Amino acid sequence: MPYLFTSESVSEGHPDKVADQISDALVDHFMAFDPESKVACETLVTTGQVVLAGEVKTSTYLDVQTIAREVITRIGYTKSEYMFEANSCGILSAIHEQSPDINQGVDKKKKEDQGAGDQGMMFGYATNETDNYMPLPLELAHTLLRELAAIRKEGKKMKYLRPDAKSQVTIEYGDDNQPIRIDAIVISTQHDDFDTEKKMLDAIKKDVQDILIPRVKKLFPKRVQKLFDTEYKLFVNPTGKFVIGGPHGDTGLTGRKIIVDTYGGKGAHGGGAFSGKDPSKVDRSAAYATRHIAKNMVAAGLCDEVLVQVAYAIGVAEPVGLYVNTYGTAKVAMKDGEIAQKINSLFDMKPYAIEQRFKLRSPIYSEAAAYGHMGRETQVVEKSFKDGSGTVKKVKVKLFPWEELDYTDKIKKAFKLK
């Protein structure tokens, strides 16, 4: 029997995402000047105020206020009427040194013996329903908001847009778990004041229908474009006007959008956030590693859909377990437990090995802090950073390395796939 599945996304101007982006900008700057930094930064944003807190062990000094203001400016909070503005907001830093009790379990004489920065379980997921092996409802929700932000920054159409926005997409799936149609799209976007609420609602809904959705539709292959051709429910700012938003409308905190950051509710989540953490925190690094495993498994043709779990004990390098669930879609005559054993032999999941495999001690995190950490395009870019003394450093890095399909041949060989 057909069923419905829904995922949501939030824009870079959503208060929780503002907090994530500031936290990850700090991580990037620490990594750029001292790759061995240990970082756990939390950010709170509210009306006219930013609070930075957390634990850091590093040899570099940063002007954290300037970094935070640069992030807020890039997002688009640059007008006083937003009640949260880059140049005028107060910024309080309560960042202090990392506890030596935690650090002693992570740092070891041999780097390869580096222990996990915490206990816990992390999940990776992949499905062949999209070209980037992500769930379609989340991919559509992310794309709607990325394009909405692009339209806002271009400044040519929908000139009333403000930075805060949310989206939600409901897809109808068939008995074969393949998408049949779009059932509902929800767009809530912050905007400038209008003369009347009806005028506002009519204008924004028309622009979403005539400008945003056609632009998004063009970005997908024909099989996805067809899903837009059937009738679906469209809700635009369903509560009415949305003038007050961003950190003025809702306090934002680092790490409150972990489902948006991963798979939109598909698969599972271990509960740990990503942003603000250096890669010794397996909440981050092992989640990337399990996504890499899952994506390569599906791309190799081993299965159509898969969930991979890894778990750690704090201070211990070897994982305490690796779990695989192919949801009955495996293309080999093996149980999931047998598949997990073979996968475990192909991928070194010790924290140091993960860091080395993806070069995670590089400043690659800011780009992941909005619109999802998974399903993004791997690319090499040059980034520029400035420390507290004014020293500028340019670094060439590979973004989203965990999205590379560099293990498919190994998986095919191990499982004797053509």
> Binding site for L-methionine: residue ranges?
55, 98, 250, 281
Binding residues for K(+): 42
Binding residues for Mg(2+): 16
Strand, helix or coil for residue 46: strand
Q: Which helix (H) or strand (E) holds 260?
A: helix 258-261
CB atoms within 10 A of CB 415: 20
Which residues share a beta bridge with 397? 381
Close Cβ partners of 260 (under 8 Å, ≥ 6 residues apart): 8, 9, 10, 138, 372
Nearest to residue 190, comparing CAs of 14, 370, 372? Answer: 14
Q: How far, in Å, are 153, 158, 179, 279 from residue 80 at the CA level?
A: 18, 20, 44, 37
| HEC sequence for 162-226 | EEEEEEEEEEEECCCCCEEEEEEEEEEEEECCCCCHHHHHHHHHHHHHHHHHHHHHCCCCHHHHH
Half-sphere exposure of 214 (CA within 13 A, CB side): 5
**Backbone phi and psi for residue 205, each to the nearest 5 degrees, phi listed first:** -65, -40
Binding residues: 14, 16, 42, 55, 98, 164-166, 241-242, 250, 256-257, 273, 277, 281
Nearest to residue 57, comparing CAs of 42, 37, 75, 29? Answer: 37
Close Cβ partners of 218 (under 8 Å, ≥ 6 residues apart): 225
* Single-letter residue type at 229: D
| HEC sequence for 157-172 | CCCCEEEEEEEEEEEE
Which residues share a beta bridge with 96? 55
* Single-letter residue type at 174: G
Pairing of strands 233-236, 179-191: parallel
Binding residues for ATP: 14, 164-166, 241-242, 250, 256-257, 273, 277
Would you state the structure tokens that stand for residue 253, as one six-digit string?
């905190």
Q: Which helix (H) or strand (E) holds 385?
A: strand 379-386
